């Protein structure tokens, strides 16, 4: 485990604000702050490339680092607590770190990775439904796993792997409240309901022709006007013609 420990030299920061940030960035550094362990926060500058390298590693923010203060013999174990990315340039611009006592347990979230092709998928047409993608664990900082692996290969349709069945060393404690919570399930494929067929009665109904409305009945609005129009169009009787 000692071989995996990354030592990084940092400088104490005496200036603050946007100008200080720009000055640090011009040197390939970013501003940061070290918190925790009941001590005062310490502002620092640190090599941005080293922090990006850590964030992209398998353990990511769970990596244990050793900060050495430039010009002194002072060293301190830390973990990345938070970081900020510039939304325009998409570059790292700030990071916070928490002090770590390697003899005290820490709580961190560890990703769950499913590996292999389930028997149910390969031979029964099932699908894999992933329920949990990470879980919180408690352990010593030097024992934090990069991930928890789940072997899907033997799982048949209808079978699952629960939190209680995750394989971890005895020194690592999983903090999930419900240990019966499924992590992954090999389930039957979902079948979409087919639309109901049209009935004979619905198929025989003639669609209404737009513009061919019903004739207004007596007493309805427009009925008088239509009656007058009909009367006007009718030929006059013989008596009226003789006149």
pLDDT at 216: 46
Q: Which residue has the higher pLDDT, 93 or 204?
A: 93
Give yes or no for residue 225 having a pLDDT over 60.
Answer: no
CB distance 9 to 70 below 8 Å = yes
Compute the distance between CA of residue 145 and CA of residue 170 in angstroms, rounded to an integer. Answer: 12
> Cα–Cα distance between 159 and 112 in angstroms, integer?
18
What distance lies between CA 24 and its chain's CA centroid? 32
- Mean pLDDT calculated for residue range 24-36: 85
Helix (H, G, I), strand (E, B) or coil at 166: coil
CB of 64 within 8 A of CB of 142?
yes
Percent of the chain with pLDDT over 90: 62
Residue 202, number of CB atoms within 10 A of its CB: 8
Domains of the chain and CATH, by start: 2-99 (2.40.240.10), 106-187 (2.170.120.20)
User: How many other C-beta atoms are found inside a 10 Å radius of the C-beta of residue 46?
Assistant: 22
The model carries a pTM of 0.70
């Amino acid at each position: 485990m000692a071989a995996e420990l990354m030592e990084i030299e940092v400088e104490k920061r005496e200036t603050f604000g946007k100008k200080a940030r720009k000055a640090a960035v011009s040197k390939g550094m970013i501003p940061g702050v070290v918190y925790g362990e009941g001590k005062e926060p310490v502002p620092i500058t640190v090599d941005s490339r080293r922090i990006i390298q850590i964030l992209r590693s398998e353990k990511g923010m769970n990596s244990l680092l050793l900060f050495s203060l430039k010009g002194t013999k002072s060293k301190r174990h830390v973990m990345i607590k938070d970081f900020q990315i510039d939304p325009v340039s998409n570059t790292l611009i700030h990071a916070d770190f928490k002090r770590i006592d390697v003899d005290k347990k820490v709580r961190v979230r560890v990703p769950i990775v499913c590996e292999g092709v389930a028997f149910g998928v390969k031979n029964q047409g099932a699908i894999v439904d992933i329920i949990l993608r990470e879980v919180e664990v408690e352990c010593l900082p030097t024992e934090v796993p990069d991930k928890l692996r789940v072997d899907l290969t033997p799982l048949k349709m209808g079978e699952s792997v629960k939190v209680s069945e995750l394989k971890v060393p005895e020194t690592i404690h999983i903090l999930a409240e419900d240990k019966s919570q499924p992590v992954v399930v090999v389930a039957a494929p979902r079948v979409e309901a087919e639309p109901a067929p049209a009935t004979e009665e619905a198929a025989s109904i003639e669609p209404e022709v737009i513009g061919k409305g019903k004739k207004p009945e007596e007493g309805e609005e427009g009925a008088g006007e239509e009656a007058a129009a009909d009367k006007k169009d009718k030929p006059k009787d013989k008596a009226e013609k003789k006149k």
